[in-house]
Amino acid sequence: MIALSVAAVLAIFIVYTAVAGAGTPQLQPSDLARYPRGDVMLVGKVVGPVTGDSHAAVGKHFVLRDVTGHTSTRVDVVYKGTVPDLFRVGREVVVEGTLRNGTFVAKPGTLSTKCPSKYAPAPAKNT
């Protein structure tokens, strides 16, 4: 009975993830061309230049490249909403949105900067 019940419950979420919530693709800038439409989560490293104001009509503009840095692909991003404190050139960020006319238009408030917290030491400056 336990096995059957667990199997039934597992079936619910497998069906859910397969049908209703098939997840959001996580892409790096070099993969973005494969998804010209639809929402994606863009993961990349900020290379700048960073201009504009995220709380103004123009929004904040910046450029992302692949985290691994193996390709030269760059993508322009425009974003409005809260900018995390740790956001800056060189940081790895995740942002959700859609590619429109070659620019990645981010959903407001979806920008998150990877937190260099535990287990990722900052490089020593005075060695």
Partner 1 sequence: MAALGRAALLLSFGLVVYALVAGSVAAWKRRRRLAASAQNALIAAFGTTVVAAAVLWTALARHDFSFVYVAQHTSRTLPLGYRLAAFWSGQEGSLLLWLLILTGYSALAVWLHRFTRDLMAWVVPVLAGVSTFFVFMLVFVSSPFMSAPAPADGAGMVPSLQNPYMLAHPPMLYLGYVGLTIPFAFAMGALLSRRTDERWIVMTRRWTLAAWTFLGVGQLLGAHWAYVEIGWGGYYAWDPVENAALMPWLAATAFLHSVMIQEKRGMLKVWNMVLVALAFCLSIFGTFLTRSGVISSIHSFSQSPLGAWFLGFIAICVVFSVGLIYLRLPLLRSRTKLESLVSREATFLYNNLLLVALCLTILWGVMYPLVTQAVRGETRSVSKPYYDFFLHTFGLPLLLLMGIGPLVAWRRASLRALGRTFIVPAVAAVVTGVALIVLGYGSSTPGLLAYTFGAFVAASIVLEFVRGTRARRSLSGGSWPGALAELVARNRRRYGGYIVHASILMLAIGVAGSSAYQTVRERGLRPGQSMEIAGYTLTYERLQQRQEANAIATRAVVDVSRGGSHVTTLYPGKNSYPVEQQVSNEVSIYHDPRNLGDLFTIADQIDPKSQTLFLKVLVKPLVNVLWAAGFVFVFGSLVTLWPDAVEQRRLAARYAADTVAA
By CB under 8 A, name the binding residues for partner 1: 1-2, 5-6, 9-10, 12-14, 16-17, 20-27, 31, 41, 43, 54-55, 82-83, 85-86, 92, 94, 112-127
In the complex, minimum distance from the CB of residue 123 to partner 1, in angstroms, rounded to a whole number: 6
Nearer to partner 1, 34 or 101 (CB): 34
Nearer to partner 1, 12 or 101 (CB): 12
Q: Token pair of 47, please?
A: 């290379």
Q: Token pair of 10, please?
A: 């597992």
Q: Token pair of 97, please?
A: 């949105």
* Whether the Cβ atoms of residue 40 and residue 26 lie closer than 8 Å to each other: yes
Nearer to partner 1, 13 or 76 (CB): 13
In the complex, minimum distance from the CB of residue 63 to partner 1, in angstroms, rounded to a whole number: 20
In the complex, minimum distance from the CB of residue 96 to partner 1, in angstroms, rounded to a whole number: 9
Nearer to partner 1, 1 or 72 (CB): 1
Short-list 64, 48, 49, CA closest to 106: 64
At residue 104, what are phi and psi to the nearest 5 degrees? -85, 110
Short-list 30, 34, 123, 113, CA closest to 68: 30
